[in-house]
Structure 1
Amino acid sequence: MQPSYNSGMSLLRSVATVSGFTFLSRVLGFVRDFVIARSFGADAATDAFFVAFKLPNLLRRMFAEGAFSQAFVPLLGEYRKQRGTEETRLLINRTGTALGAVVLLVALLGIWGAPAIVTISAPGFLETPEKFELAVTLTRITFFYIFFMSMVAFAAGILNTWSKFSVPAFTPVLLNVSLILMAAFTQSWFDPPVKALAWGVIIGGLLQLGLQFYALHKIDLLPRFSLNLKACWQDPGVKRIGLLMIPALLGVSVSQISLLLNTVFASFLESGSISWLYYADRLMEFPAGMLGVAIGTVILPSLTRHHHGGDKEAYSGLLDWGLRLCFLLTLPAALGLAILAVPLISTLFMHGAFTAHDVSETSHALIAYSVGLSGLILVKVLAPGFYARQNLKTPVKIALIALVSTQLMNLAFIGPLKQAGLALSIGIAACLNAALLYRGLRQAAIYEPMPGWMPFLTKLGIALAVMAAVLLGGYQNDQFWLEAPLAERVLWLGGLICSAGVAYGLTLFILGFRPRDFRKT
């Protein structure tokens, strides 16, 4: 039996809600990638689009799922608890104004400096002028997405602080729907056709911002923007958010920065390498988004509340709950991605212009990514342990160590392992990041593990072994997954995943695990 976390209304329900909407978004993301792969394959045009979308998408992850919320939510929670309605609303108004002004300027500068951005992001494109010019054009179209998503992140921070988790979790669905419709129905309107994807990004960003601001209007928290920028910049709360964002950008989003730098390395490999990394990353994002983002989003406001309430035991207990939940859910996800790499990629993407060679190369990257999946998700649970306390120094040091380690491993792995080496370096560095964050929490006496961790991990190991046996026993062989009809692959893959999931869950049940053991307020 596990340590009980049951006390009234369950945070597990909130995690399930966020995970459910994230699941919908990720499913539509796979539909999106299926449509893109079928329509465009993996060639110079898709490489150009993925490079153009890389930086805006990076900032989406850093802001919407990381740095801004880690800096903004704890301070907003403090204002709400200690300073009253008037000062809280003033903070919202001035933060929105300051953030909007900065990201608008960044977006305009990015459009103007698109050639330099592409040169830095993918210097290998300079050897092919047509590919370089296409990437520049697509970058200029997509770069304003940064403005939309930064403001979406601002709105999401407010909604999450008021425990309105559903709308921010649902919002990414709109981007996927926009890209699916543009890729499927409008590519013939553009020359070259890949421009349809770039405009789909902009339309999706506008729809997301509209939904978030409507949700704020419904709870009477829609920000009132001011032309008095000086007053906004001089506001003590805005200054504190700016200072907190510096370590948050590194501490929470170091893996995303590494993904951007990986594009630089991948641009020197054969054509298609960037696309192979992209498709592997998309599969890895499925559990990372469903689990890491969901748990991190729900846990941060509660940690902030416990910190300002002075309840150290509840603070430590909440971190313990998050860590156990992460291991319980991420380890089987990582194992499944590694074993089912070829079946997943061939079933989801091997259509139209996406070839068996693309499947093979993408699967190598996915297996390498799976090594660090648990580390990537653990960072999203451990980092809030510092940011809820507005700690600046420790996450910065850890993030810099992880970032430097990633690039050193890139140099070591890219030769023998190609794009898979780039993926492996991110995974190993994520595990290092998580390990150092954990050590920092323990050394500062912020977190004290509850009893029962060794039996917990032993039982997980047994359940994972059973799950692996089921997957390997029904795997068939790679040739089957490359040649069988799509319907047969879908049915067989679905049966394998369901059987493995049932085997894992049943084994845990027999060993004494119960859902009620993971409830938490």
Structure 2
Amino acid sequence: MSLQGKDQEPDNGEVITAPELPKPPGLLRSSAVVGVMTMLSRVLGLLRDVVFARFIGAEAGADAFFVAFKIPNFLRRLFAEGAFAQAFVPVLSEYRAQGSVAAVRGLLDRVAGCLGLTLTLLTALAMIGAPVLTAVFAPGFLNDPVRFPLASDMIRITFPYLLLISMTGFAGAILNSYDRFAVPAFTPVLLNVALISSAVLAAPYFDPPVMALAWGVLAAGVIQLLFQLPFLVRLGLMPRPKVDWQDDGVKRILGLMAPAIFGVSVSQINLLLDTVLASFLPTGSVSWLYYSDRLAELPLGVFAIAIATVILPGLSRQNASEDPLKFSQTLDWAVKTVLLIALPAAVALIILAQPILTTLFQYGKTLPEDIAMSTLSLRAYALGLVAFMLIKVLAPGYYARQDMKTPVKIGVIAMVSNMVLNLVFVLPFYFLWNIGHVGLALATSASAFINMGLLWRGLSRQGVYRSVSPWGRVILQLLVANLAMAVALLWVMSRLTGWADWLWSERVVALALLCVTGLVVYGSVLLAAGMRLRDFRGAH
């Protein structure tokens, strides 16, 4: 029975009224809302990285900070955006569909208590054992008298961000489940504002200045959590934490989370392995991978994660109401929409890698050599962009049905493949051309295709996903449009030379010209080939 607009009576006789919720918007509109908010966050994220490039470059302090930030940020993706969200949202959706308002609130209270206690203990242990974490995640720093102690000190400051942002993610998952997508999507903007402010305003007062960024991370965690709480209060769903490990809902979420940690976060684990191995490579390698990964993640975060965020609650409800046709149609819509965006994004990043990096980052302490090295790894990451994005929308097809075992098996295969491919690519790239970091990026991209292919095959074999789109025509339209776009970009690029010698404003204008040219050519060819916006509308 639906909870929306119904009065429910718990065991103590108190009548609890659920908020009257509006009809949820369509998939395209919801994805657009999340995408716009995420785009704002990503644009500020790029501005943040421009500030980083100017103030800390790719020096030892930068490597230390990126490691100290990446560890809690990686675990955030496991707890907040990864395994927890994928396990929690289906269970919450089931409680909404089949239970009472009192049951929903009881679930939220107990999940908040158990999650909060676990993360508090984990944070305390991490702060005490910060040098151990540095040795595990950046073993190449062990004999470095600058990077090792600096990274350890900053981990003690940044690690509480995991607790704060995971609770923020918990609040965001509740809001997403009730089709309030905009607020969670906007929240990361506050992280970027805090870090930019720390770099520009606070850094001069710290020694070394990079320590200001660590404190900025901590402040951002507090701000983001406080921002979301009023929206939970407005829904009448503000949790009152209670620790109860025996609660059925908590047990189910924990049972789903354990395997999902691997299944949903394989790409992040692979990127973290890149950081570990990059710590053994020449100084700057960690930063080169960071800058290129940030650009590759722009379309991933703006579009793929937005689509995945929107479809998971719908898929969960369709599974709970036993509607396999709509379930398959939702997945098919997501795959088609991702391909519409992922293919041109990958082609554009490969062709425009150096102009983009030069325009954004070649200032202050960032040298032309840093741009050249980042260009190579960005192109390697771009080769796997389609796979990275499809993974995000195929995985919810399993989690919505509370099937965590299959993605775990696939994730383990992908992780092992990545480890093997690291050796296959890194050794020759390092010893022959001294660009070992490029081998790391290539291995990550190749393992993403293995992961994506196995996820797709599993959904097809289980009969969960059956293609309903005219895929032959769609693929042909996309290939022709991307080929035309590539030719146009290369032609314009051949007439624009000397980027490094231009002023910032000249670089921005030239890059905007390239982006507009690519977008216009791509869209025009798609329209001429018969593709229309209505082909991508979806309904909840």
Deviations 1:431-459 (A, max 9, x none): 11111000000101111111410110011
Q: Which residue of 2 aligns with 1:246?
A: 258
Letter in 2 for 1:133: P
Structure 1 distance, partners of 2:497, 2:366, is 16
Q: Which residue of 2 aligns with 1:62?
A: 78
| 1:354-369 to 2 correspondences below 5 Å | 354-369=366-381
Structure 2 distance, partners of 1:478, 1:267, is 36
Scaled by the length of structure 2, the TM-score of the pair is 0.93
The answer on whether the counterparts of 2:332 and 2:469 sit within 8 Å (CA) in structure 1 is: no
Structure 2 distance, partners of 1:62, 1:139, is 18
Q: Which residue of 2 aligns with 1:465?
A: 483
1:101 aligns with 2:113: no
| 1:125-164 to 2 correspondences below 5 Å | 125-164=141-180
Q: Which residue of 2 aligns with 1:45?
A: 61
Q: Which residue of 2 aligns with 1:4?
A: none
Tell me the CA shift for residue 10 of structure 1.
2.3
Tell me the CA shift for residue 69 of structure 1.
1.0
Tell me the CA shift for residue 489 of structure 1.
1.3
What is the aligned counterpart of 2:350 among 338, 346, 350?
338
Q: Which residue of 1 aligns with 2:240?
A: 224
Letter in 2 for 1:294: A
Deviations 1:393-430 (A, max 9, x none): 21110000001101111111112331011111111111
Q: Which residue of 2 aligns with 1:482?
A: 500
Deviations 1:185-208 (A, max 9, x none): 111111111000000000111100
The answer on whether the counterparts of 2:477 and 2:531 sit within 8 Å (CA) in structure 1 is: no
- Greater shift after overlay, 446-455 or 342-351? 446-455
Letter in 1 for 2:458: G
What is the aligned counterpart of 1:444 among 438, 462, 470?
462
Structure 2 distance, partners of 1:283, 1:451, is 31
1:419 aligns with 2:437: yes
What is the aligned counterpart of 1:295 among 307, 329, 335?
307
Q: Which residue of 1 aligns with 2:410?
A: 398
Report SS of the residue matched to 2:494. coil
Tell me the CA shift for residue 9 of structure 1.
4.7
Structure 1 distance, partners of 2:471, 2:505, is 43
Structure 2 distance, partners of 1:56, 1:495, is 38
What RMSD in Å do the two structures reach over aligned CA positions?
Answer: 1.3
Structure 2 distance, partners of 1:373, 1:131, is 31
Report SS of the residue matched to 2:146. helix
1:260 aligns with 2:278: no
Letter in 2 for 1:86: A
Letter in 2 for 1:288: L
Q: Which residue of 1 aligns with 2:338?
A: 326
Report SS of the residue matched to 1:233. coil
Q: Which residue of 1 aligns with 2:389?
A: 377
Tell me the CA shift for residue 65 of structure 1.
2.8
Tell me the CA shift for residue 66 of structure 1.
2.2
Report percent identity of matched pairs.
Answer: 49
1:284 aligns with 2:302: no
Structure 1 distance, partners of 2:165, 2:276, is 24
- Greater shift after overlay, 318-327 or 446-455? 446-455
The answer on whether the counterparts of 1:67 and 1:245 sit within 8 Å (CA) in structure 2 is: yes
Q: Which residue of 2 aligns with 1:3?
A: none
Aligned CA distance change for structure 1 residues 412 and 478 (closer, same or farther; 3 Å): farther
Aligned CA distance change for structure 1 residues 287 and 435 (closer, same or farther; 3 Å): same
The answer on whether the counterparts of 1:9 and 1:520 sit within 8 Å (CA) in structure 2 is: no
| 1:270-281 to 2 correspondences below 5 Å | 270-281=282-293
Tell me the CA shift for residue 482 of structure 1.
2.1
The answer on whether the counterparts of 2:24 and 2:179 sit within 8 Å (CA) in structure 1 is: no
Scaled by the length of structure 1, the TM-score of the pair is 0.96
Tell me the CA shift for residue 332 of structure 1.
0.5
Tell me the CA shift for residue 217 of structure 1.
1.1
Report SS of the residue matched to 2:364. coil
Tell me the CA shift for residue 256 of structure 1.
0.4
Letter in 2 for 1:444: Q
Q: Mind listing any 5+ residue stretches in structure 1 that lack a counterpart? A: 1-6
**Deviating 4+ runs (over 3 angstroms):** 476-479
1:165 aligns with 2:181: yes
Structure 2 distance, partners of 1:75, 1:114, is 35
Structure 1 distance, partners of 2:25, 2:215, is 43
The answer on whether the counterparts of 1:65 and 1:293 sit within 8 Å (CA) in structure 2 is: no
1:17 aligns with 2:29: no
Q: Which residue of 1 aligns with 2:14?
A: none
- Greater shift after overlay, 338-347 or 8-17? 8-17
Structure 2 distance, partners of 1:241, 1:77, is 12
Tell me the CA shift for residue 263 of structure 1.
1.1
Structure 2 distance, partners of 1:61, 1:410, is 23
The answer on whether the counterparts of 1:280 and 1:366 sit within 8 Å (CA) in structure 2 is: yes
Aligned CA distance change for structure 1 residues 9 and 140 (closer, same or farther; 3 Å): closer
Tell me the CA shift for residue 62 of structure 1.
2.6
The answer on whether the counterparts of 1:342 and 1:478 sit within 8 Å (CA) in structure 2 is: no
The answer on whether the counterparts of 1:118 and 1:136 sit within 8 Å (CA) in structure 2 is: yes
Structure 1 distance, partners of 2:271, 2:450, is 16
Aligned length: 511
Letter in 1 for 2:338: C
Tell me the CA shift for residue 392 of structure 1.
2.2
Structure 1 distance, partners of 2:257, 2:520, is 42
1:121 aligns with 2:137: yes
Aligned CA distance change for structure 1 residues 477 and 241 (closer, same or farther; 3 Å): farther
Letter in 1 for 2:304: G
Deviations 1:67-95 (A, max 9, x none): 21110000000001101111111000000
Tell me the CA shift for residue 501 of structure 1.
0.4
The answer on whether the counterparts of 1:96 and 1:225 sit within 8 Å (CA) in structure 2 is: yes
Q: Which residue of 1 aligns with 2:432?
A: none
1:203 aligns with 2:219: yes
Aligned CA distance change for structure 1 residues 9 and 178 (closer, same or farther; 3 Å): closer
Q: Mind listing any 5+ residue stretches in structure 2 that lack a counterpart? A: 1-22, 430-435
- Greater shift after overlay, 40-49 or 56-65? 56-65
- Greater shift after overlay, 447-456 or 434-443? 447-456
The answer on whether the counterparts of 1:342 and 1:481 sit within 8 Å (CA) in structure 2 is: no
Structure 2 distance, partners of 1:475, 1:406, is 34
